[in-house]
């Protein structure tokens, strides 16, 4: 059989058997966000391109190389969202939430799109969980956001993560650092890659984030941002570290972390692992106090993080972390004859309204095939309806694991009788 088409490169189908793992992960993420007072925001899958050019930064790889941008039928430039923060910030501004009670706290779980080399842990369509906090410049807010990610990892049982933190200062103190970087990297002008050469004048901080081996080697002895922080930024960073110490969250200061997006200021952080090869960052975030103003809003501090769900799932598998077992069929109702088949259909419907997962034969198979199917879907109990069972008003319910059979009435009391038999059934 020749398929008409296949899933586009860099995308994947999430099928039953795997989707249950996603649901278990998403449940933990939602619960942790809610516990910390964050409410869900859902934004469009596409936005006007200028949102990402202004918000993410036109010197970033995301904007320069990776965005899915097209012109719609109204000749407007439209882009599939490459990340979640810019859209959330736009929603905050458009709906005037910056004037509501502060801080405003959002969480989202969303699909994102970037055109880049597809590989394990890096897809062109990927899913991101993130939190955004608007209105607080307090260092405790930085620690709280970091602690949400830390709590997620602990609940999931993920081990051996390293939290790396840095401060990249504010526009005031970063001006002197920018000049120092330009002077330092000018000596390597003939060795810089084309991208870094273009960044040297416009955004030299991004040279520290280049993946080219030559550029990384040239950056090894570059000046440290920590030597250029103003007193306010130094004090802020010290308070963030003190708050993390109070929570018992271990961290390592890494003065080379700058993150890949232009909107970051002051605190930046990453949770990394050695269990995923080159794709070692499983969560990244920080503070972006200039973003709201950049998008046309008032001066307002903001911060947050994003974590890729595909990488989280890969990491959990790499560490052999068990996922909760998905709910299987509680009872399969086999049937012999049309009347019994119709009765099995109505019984299954009644059981489902009571929270009991029930299945019946909807292919018109023979009894042997029906029981084989019940076994394949992992039914915990099975029963067979025929003329005799309908006439007597009773049927044998079989425990598929032990083979033990129990006779139950088929009338209105069947659901309660089955729930008594199966202590896990929900009524």
- Return all residues near 268 (Cβ < 8 A) that are at least 6 apart: 165, 166, 167, 168, 257, 258, 259, 284, 285, 286, 287
Residue 241 lies in a domain: yes
Using one digit for the tens of pLDDT, what is the confidence trace for 1-59? 788 899 889 999 999 989 999 999 999 999 999 999 999 999 999 999 999 988 777 66
| Mean local confidence (pLDDT), 281-286 | 94
| Higher per-residue confidence, 191 vs 278 | 191
Residue 82's CATH number? 3.30.930.10
Instruction: Using DSSP, state whether 166 is helix, strand or coil.
Output: strand
Between the CA of residue 234 and those of 171, 249, 253, 254, 299, what are the distances in Å?
A: 14, 20, 13, 15, 21
386 and 249 in one domain? Answer: no
Distance CA 260, CA 206 (A): 7
261 and 286 in one domain? Answer: yes
370 and 308 in one domain? Answer: no
Distance CA 28, CA 309 (A): 12
Cβ atoms of 329 and 379 within 8 Å: the answer is yes
Report DSSP letters for 179-233, one per residue.
HHHHHHHHTTGGGS-HHHHHHHHH-GGGGGG---HHHHHHHTTPPPGGGT--HHH
Q: Using DSSP bridges, classify how beta strands 358-360 and 331-335 pair: parallel, antiparallel or unpaired.
A: parallel
- Number of structural domains found in the chain: 2
Residue 224 lies in a domain: no
Residue 49's H or E segment, with its range, is: helix 49-52
Q: Which residues span the domain enclosing 342?
A: 331-421
Using the 3D structure, point to which of 284, 318, 352 is the last residue of a domain.
318
306 and 358 in one domain? Answer: no
Distance CA 126, CA 317 (A): 18
Task: Give the residues across from 287 on adjacent strands.
Answer: 265, 303
Using one digit for the tens of pLDDT, what is the confidence trace for 332-379? 999 999 999 999 999 999 999 888 999 999 999 999 999 999 999 999
Residue 186 lies in a domain: no
143 and 45 in one domain? Answer: yes
342 and 299 in one domain? Answer: no
Residue labelled with tokens 């903001």: 302
Residue 359's CATH number? 3.40.50.800
- Return all residues near 221 (Cβ < 8 A) that are at least 6 apart: 184
């Amino acid at each position: 059989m020749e398929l008409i088409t296949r899933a586009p490169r860099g995308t994947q189908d999430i099928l039953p058997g795997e989707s249950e793992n996603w649901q278990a992960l998403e449940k933990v993420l939602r619960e942790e966000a809610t516990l910390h007072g964050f409410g869900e925001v859902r934004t469009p899958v596409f936005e006007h391109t200028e949102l990402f050019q202004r918000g993410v930064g036109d010197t970033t790889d995301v904007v320069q190389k990776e965005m899915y941008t097209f012109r719609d039928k109204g000749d407007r430039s439209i882009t599939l969202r490459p990340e979640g923060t810019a859209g959330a910030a736009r929603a905050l501004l458009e709906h005037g939430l910056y004037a509501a009670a502060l801080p405003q706290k959002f969480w989202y779980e969303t699909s994102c799109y970037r055109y880049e080399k597809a590989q394990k842990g890096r897809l062109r369509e990927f899913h991101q969980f993130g939190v955004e906090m608007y209105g607080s410049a307090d260092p405790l807010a930085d620690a709280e956001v970091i602690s949400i990610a830390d709590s997620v990892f602990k609940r999931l049982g993920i081990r051996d993560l390293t939290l790396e933190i840095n401060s990249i200062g504010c526009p005031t103190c970063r001006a002197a650092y920018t000049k120092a970087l330009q002077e330092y990297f000018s000596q390597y002008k003939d060795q810089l890659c084309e991208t870094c050469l273009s960044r040297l004048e416009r955004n030299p901080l991004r040279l520290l984030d280049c993946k080219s081996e030559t550029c990384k080697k040239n950056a090894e002895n570059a000046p440290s941002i920590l030597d250029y922080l103003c007193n306010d930024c130094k004090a802020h960073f010290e308070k963030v570290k003190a708050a993390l110490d109070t929570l018992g969250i271990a961290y390592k200061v890494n003065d080379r972390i700058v993150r890949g997006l232009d909107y970051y200021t002051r605190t930046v952080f990453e949770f990394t692992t050695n269990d995923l090869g080159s794709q070692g960052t499983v969560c990244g975030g920080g503070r972006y106090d200039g973003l709201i103003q950049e998008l046309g809003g008032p001066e307002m501090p903001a911060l947050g993080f994003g974590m890729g769900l595909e990488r989280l799932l890969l990491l959990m598998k790499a560490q052999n972390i068990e996922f909760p077992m998905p709910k299987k069929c509680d009872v399969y109702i086999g049937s012999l004859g049309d009347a019994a088949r119709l009765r099995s259909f109505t019984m299954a419907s009644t059981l489902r309204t009571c929270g009991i997962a029930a299945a019946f034969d909807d292919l018109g198979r023979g009894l042997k095939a029906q029981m084989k199917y019940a076994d394949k879907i992992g039914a915990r109990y099975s029963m067979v309806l025929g003329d005799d069972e309908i006439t007597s008003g009773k049927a044998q319910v079989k425990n598929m694991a032990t083979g033990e059979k129990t006779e139950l009435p088929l009338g209105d009391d069947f659901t309660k009788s089955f729930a008594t038999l199966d202590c896990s059934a929900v009524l």
